[in-house]
Every structure is written in C-alpha cells, then in structure tokens.
Amino acid sequence: MSAHRALAPAKLNLSLHVRRMDSSGLHPVRGLTLSIGRNDILDMAPAGSDQLEVHGADLPTGEENLVWKAVSALRSGQRDRPSVRFELWKRIPVAAGLAGGSSDAAAALLLYGSLTGRDQAHLAGPAAEIGADVSFCLRGGLRWIGGYGEQLGDPLDRDGDFVLVVAVPPFMLETARVYSAWDRIGEPAGRAVSGTAIPPGIRRYGPLVNDLYPAATSIEPDLDDWRAELESRWDRPVLMSGSGPSLYAFFPDQAEADEGLEMVPEEARDAFVALPQARGAHLVEDG
C-alpha cells in the first residue's frame, strides 16, 4: 500500500567551497550540509488526471514545478503511469537558499515511488537527474557534499545538540546570478568562522566558509547590513546558507534561540527556530 504524506525538510549549507566553472558550465563545490526541522508537507492521492495545489506560496503548478519533474523522472520508461493529485503546504521560504523546491522533489520521489513499488534505493538515479540538491534532500542529515552537489559523503556524527535561528531578509537572490557574480568579481573566498564560534559537536568540521557570500553582497548590499545587524543583536557570528539570502546563527538551547528569534527585525521576510535533523525527506502517517 502506498504512502500518502511526506515531510520535506529544509537544507542549510554550513560550509560551501566553490570552484571555478568547468567544461560543463557548472561550478564544482564541496560543502557541509545539514537538514533542519522546517518542513514542507506534501500529500498525494490517486486521481483521474495529474493535479498540484500549492498552499502558502505563489508557485507554478505545471510541469516546471520540481514535484512534476520528480514524477516525470520516475515515469520515464515505465508503462504504468498512474495519475495523482498532490497538495503541497509550503513552510520553507522560497528563493531563500534553503532548497525547499529540491526537498519537495525528494518528497515526491518517495511518494510516487511508493505508489509504483520503488524503494529509496531505486531513487538515487532519478534524484541526481532532477537537480543538484535533490540527492542530499532525499538522504539528509549532516554530510559533506561534492561534485555539483549530487555526490554525498556518509552521514556525519553530531556530538551534542544545538539550535538554529534562521532569518530571511526581505529580498530574493537568484542562484544563477550569484554564481555569475562570483565569476565576475574574481572567485573570492568567503570569511571563515572557526573555533568556539562553532558548536562543540561540529567544531571538528570547521572552519565554516561560504564562498558565495561576497558575490551575494555584490548583488544585494543590504545583505551585509542584515548580517551585521543580526550579529550585533545576537552577539555571535552569522552565516549565509547557499546562494542566500537566508542568514542563520547557532544557539546552545531552545530558550536562547527563542530569545534570538524575538530579536529578528520585523522587516524580515521570514524567521524561525529549527533543530538539526538526522534525515531528509521521509514518509509519514497522514491524518
């Protein structure tokens, strides 16, 4: 019997080292990536024709949506192509460097795979075809990534816990534009965060660096103002996830994180507290 609901967690880039564009036209990366407890919810049910309804965000519902790209990848070469209706509740901010669309695609792979008798072991190939982040979002946890994001290291240990506060400034950054800016301004390295600024449980994976930060601030100078303001209010280093503009910091416990959330400027597009998660997209009992 197939499952009907999947959770799709957001992804944070704790570290992102970018290399020069290669002959594929893409930039190889090496990064430290973490699933966090901010989830989109995707429901699936049999239907007479394919349908997608999205709540909480103004997103396309046609074939350009990554949910349908996931379904198309599974239908390729198959005779049995049952029609389904998806309902997606967006809780991960869009265009924020948190891989919400890729995580939705991973959730769709799990749901449609369960309907057509394919387990997670058969989903790795389709995941890599859809987009660079989908492979990670399917497996999740804390891992090093490589290649263009599709190469996954083994799950890493996290000794002890920490809590994150994520703040999304009131503007969007297009990933392709940020990478182009990185090329244009000379392929700079990001600033390093190390030592006691990193929670003890992941300190051995430091320093944490995001090479795309200088490129993102060259496009949107207000991003650096937001980082500086949050660092002043939170009294700790603030990092950017992916190509931005989401900014985040580490807190030792829920109480301090809740206080940090209250300090986020009200102009933020979104802000939330999240715990690290040991897995990516996964099926759940609905209802």
Q: 228 Cβ partners below 8 Å, 6+ apart? A: none
Share of the chain above pLDDT 70, in %: 98
Rounded to an integer, the average pLDDT of 53-79 is 93
Query: For residue 245, is the peptide bond before it cis, meaning its omega torsion is within 30 degrees of 0?
Result: yes
For residue 12, give the nearest of 208, 190, 188 by alpha carbon: 208
DSSP state of 139: H
145 near 152, Cβ under 8 Å? yes
What are the pLDDT digits (tens) for 237-273?
Answer: 999 999 999 999 999 999 999 999 999 999 999 999 9
What are the pLDDT digits (tens) for 38-65?
Answer: 999 999 999 999 999 999 999 999 999 9
How far is it, in rounded angstroms, from Cα 181 to Cα 171?
17
pLDDT at 1 over 50: no
For residue 269, give the nearest of 202, 212, 209, 222 by alpha carbon: 222
Q: What is the largest CA-CA distance in the chain?
A: 58
Q: 232 Cβ partners below 8 Å, 6+ apart? A: none
What are the pLDDT digits (tens) for 92-117?
Answer: 999 999 999 999 999 999 999 999 98
What are the pLDDT digits (tens) for 171-184?
Answer: 999 999 999 999 99
Q: How confident is the model at residue 286 (pLDDT cuts 50, 70, 90)?
A: low
Structure tokens at 231: 């660092």
Our measurement of the distance from residue 223's CA atom to the centroid of its chain's CA atoms, rounded to an integer in Å, reads: 19
Q: CB 284: neighbour CB atoms within 10 A?
A: 12
Q: What is the mean pLDDT of the chain?
A: 95
What are the pLDDT digits (tens) for 200-229?
Answer: 999 999 999 999 999 999 999 999 999 999
Cα distances (angstroms) measured from residue 234 to each of 65, 111, 161, 243, 262: 37, 40, 19, 22, 10
Radius of gyration of the CA atoms of the chain, in A = 19
Query: Which residues are catalytic, by number?
Result: 11, 133
Domains and CATH numbers, the chain: 5-156 (3.30.230.10), 163-277 (3.30.70.890)
